[in-house]
Amino acid sequence: MDEKTRKIYNTAGISDAVLDYCSDIEQAQAERFRRIDEMSEYGQIKVVEAMRKNHVQEGHFAGTTGYGYNDDGRDAIERVYADVFHTEDALVRPHITCGTHALTVALSGNLRPGDELLSPVGEPYDTLQGVIGIRPERGSLAEYGVTYRQVDLLPDGSFDYPAIKAAINDRTKLVTIQRSRGYLTRKTFSVEQIGELIAFIKGIRPDLICMVDNCYGEFVEPIEPTDVGADMCVGSLIKNPGGGLAPSGGYIVGTRECVANAAYRLTAPGLGKELGSSMGLNRTLLQGLFLAPTVTASALKTAIFAAGIYEKLGYKVTPDSKEDRYDIIQAIIFESDKALIEFCKGIQKASPVDSFVTPEPWPMPGYDCDVIMAAGAFISGSSIELSADGPLRPPYTAYFQGGLTWPHGKYGIMMSLQNLVDAGIVHLS
């Protein structure tokens, strides 16, 4: 590191001891980072080619209002997404509020009363439990007569094929597969693993709709679940594919039939994709998608860098610094409330927005203990931006993700370490 860079880090609050400690880790990860860059190169070309093919042009950036009939930019975005994911069609809308909403639209659009939904990968993401009705909730699928069946993973984290086969019956209509671990302890599935599961399911009943909750997984691998047989892939634009620019939105890509069913649910039966004004957001969604491969690469590097640092300090990290990654989430198990809090405060301190506020644990709705959250994001709640949170209960795990640029992610992680050093929790020899 040259003197000028060292100096600005010092001015920004990072000591030489922390810089040197982290610098060694970064050097040891050089080959890993090179492979991530290579993958982002692949993703970048994939996205640009989809934009070239669909003649993305300045006229597409003009917004529509009201009904949004003939919004060429909106239609172009959807064709680009369909090409990036190699699907027949796509629904990409700023009106989709969040990932949970996108999944709700995909599920409720494709399921009918009397159908059964199957999760062959254990319990779904917390918010989905209310949507399905595992946890009773107003307007859940259960209230509309859609039943749910779940097959848990085997103790070693693999698929329980015999139990999955036994769970599939005449009423099974849709299989939901969550790619990312979310906040569970299981591992995230690779696209290849998801492909094996889908092949098994299609081998039993080729007509079953296989849907993948792709949240946090986009662009982490060169291929997506739709490349290995998924009929439908769903995610949030304030995570990876929005590239940090999309201010809101979600996507559903898949077969023409699945996307049409979802569109009839998002707007109205008979209206579908024809309506929905883009309100001036087309350019931002396209530019965000353009940036998404490199932004996701930055988030991945940040996660691996943090894993390397905290692992060397003796903390349990998952995934560890060596294993392959299939999403951008990193967990660090601190076994100490103080350490968890200082880590989050460090992330906050390094944020471009709200750096001056101090995160405090608070009794967040839906949790049985206090939760601390650190985020200083340009887009509220965006988890492709560097952000961390942790429930204040043993084993005091910090979950963090994001980093729009690698230099910022690196700075945030170094600040978290600096905070732990300054608090006397970590001693760098």
Ligand X SMILES: *Cc1c(COP(=O)(O)O)cnc(C)c1O
Minimum CB distance to ligand X, residue 49 (Å): 27
Q: Which is nearer to ligand X, 240 or 416 (CB)?
A: 240
Minimum CB distance to ligand X, residue 383 (Å): 7
Among residues 349, 337, 328, 318, which one has the least CA distance to residue 418?
Answer: 349
Number of CB atoms found within 10 A of residue 290's CB: 19
Q: Which is nearer to ligand X, 111 or 421 (CB)?
A: 111
**From CA 278, how far away is CA 297, in angstroms rounded?**
28
Minimum CB distance to ligand X, residue 122 (Å): 12
- Cα 215 to chain centroid, rounded: 4
Q: Which is nearer to ligand X, 9 or 216 (CB)?
A: 216
What secondary structure letter does DSSP report for 251?
E
| Phi then psi dihedrals of residue 211, to 5 deg | -110, 135
Minimum CB distance to ligand X, residue 68 (Å): 23
Which token pair is 155? Answer: 């103790």
**From CA 401, how far away is CA 420, in angstroms rounded?**
19
Q: Which is nearer to ligand X, 83 or 218 (CB)?
A: 218
What secondary structure letter does DSSP report for 372?
E
Among residues 318, 313, 251, which one has the least CA distance to residue 105?
Answer: 251
Sites of contact with ligand X (CB under 6 A) = 98-100, 125, 127, 178, 180, 182, 213, 215-216, 236
Q: Which is nearer to ligand X, 249 or 276 (CB)?
A: 249
- Please work out, in degrees rounded to the nearest 5, the angle formed at the alpha carbon of residue 198 by the alpha carbons of 195 and 202: 140
Whether the Cβ atoms of residue 410 and residue 305 lie closer than 8 Å to each other: yes
What secondary structure letter does DSSP report for 419?
H
Minimum CB distance to ligand X, residue 216 (Å): 5
Minimum CB distance to ligand X, residue 144 (Å): 20
CB neighbour list of residue 354: distance below 8 Å, 6 or more residues apart:
348, 375, 376
**From CA 302, how far away is CA 22, in angstroms rounded?**
12
Minimum CB distance to ligand X, residue 143 (Å): 20
Q: Which is nearer to ligand X, 248 or 321 (CB)?
A: 248
**From CA 171, how far away is CA 153, in angstroms rounded?**
22
Q: Which is nearer to ligand X, 168 or 332 (CB)?
A: 332
